[in-house]
Structure 1
Amino acid sequence: MSIYGIGTDICDIRRIRETLARRGERFAEKVLGPHEMAVFRERKAKVEARGVAYLATRFSAKEAFSKAIGMGMRMPMTWRACEIVKAPSGKPEIRLHGELAAWFEAKGLRAHVTVTDETEYAAAFVVVETR
């Protein structure tokens, strides 16, 4: 195995909160896939700050992933085609859908992701390797 790409991103949670206040859930629906959207709503309903932090970590992870694959946010990379889900162990993992999943599989790639957040910032780091 060798490294195909590395990506990192930091996100200001206050900016995400302001965007949510301005655009409502439409912003979350643009960024989050179906599984992520359900988790976002559940967390936000319990403690709003937890929902916002969750959205920020996913935003940051998708930005980092797009950098690691060298594409940025252009097809087949889209916000909703890339989801950050939790493995049973709690470890975050990347789940891809549609054209992005097919492209990634055809290249024989594998991704590793980690996310973190504090009061004002969320950050993510992604390593993509060839099999």
Structure 2
Amino acid sequence: MIYGIGTDVCDIRRIEATLSRQGDRFARKVLGEAEYAVWQARGARWPERGVRYLATRFSAKESFSKAIGLGMRMPMTWRSCEILNQPSGQPIVVLNGVLKTWFEERGLRAHVTVTDESDYAASFVVVERDASSPVSVP
């Protein structure tokens, strides 16, 4: 059963401008530890690729926050939601801390896809609820 759907389009130039102003501080605010390590490695080899990685993660977290119906308010935070990749390259949502507990209590499962092209990054998230899960959790 579908719990929620979220989508987002992000202007990569806006992310690049923010990085120029704030540097690593912006990446540290948005990325979890595993994402940050990937961002650093990609950016070291090719700076534009690092910016695109950050933009797709920013977009996917926006989409996820919409799909769960919270927006960017507790327990949803930038760093408690990570968008990582399976060895196959498939993106997955990995949750941490209070957000992970909140999500699991509701019997939810997320599917995410990300893409970037020219000046934009886009993402789409579908969140499902297990049929056996309660309708609402206080």
Q: Which of the five TM-score ranges fits, normalised by the shorter chain? A: over 0.9
- SS class of match (1:80): coil
C-alpha separation between the residues in 2 aligned to 1:90 and 1:44?
18
Match of 1:32 in 2: 31
- SS class of match (2:65): helix
Residues 1:119 and 2:122 aligned together: no
Match of 2:66 in 1: 67
- TM-score, length basis structure 2: 0.94
Match of 2:12 in 1: 13
- Contiguous gaps of at least 5 residues in structure 2: 131-138
C-alpha separation between the residues in 1 aligned to 2:13 and 2:87?
30
**CA offsets 1:85-113 (integer angstroms, 9 cap, x no match):** 10122100000000000000000000000
- Compute the displacement of 1:119 (Å): 1.7
- TM-score, length basis structure 1: 0.99
- Compute the displacement of 1:58 (Å): 0.1
- SS class of match (1:49): helix
AA of the residue aligned to 1:54: Y
C-alpha separation between the residues in 2 aligned to 1:82 and 1:54?
15
Please tell me the root mean square deviation across aligned C-alpha atoms, in Å. 0.4
**Structure number with bigger Rg:** 2
- Contiguous gaps of at least 5 residues in structure 1: none
Number of aligned positions between the proteins:
130
After TM superposition, what 4+ stretches of structure 1 lie above 4 angstroms from structure 2?
Answer: none
